Amino acid sequence: MPALQWARLNADLNLRLRRGAWYRVLELHPLEAVLDVRGGRVTVPRPFLEIVGTPPRRWTVVADLRDASHVPPDWGGRYAVCPNCRERQPLERRSDMRCHRCGGQFEISWNEGYLAAG
pTM: predicted TM-score of the whole model, two decimal places: 0.81
Percentage with pLDDT > 90 across the chain: 59
Mean pLDDT of 42-56: 94
Q: What is the pLDDT of residue 112?
A: 86
With the CA atoms of 66, 70, 71 and 74 taken in that order, what torsion angle do they form, in degrees rounded to the nearest 10?
Answer: 120
> What is the per-residue pLDDT across 57-81, written as a single tens digit (0 to 9) for each?
999 998 866 666 677 878 877 899 9
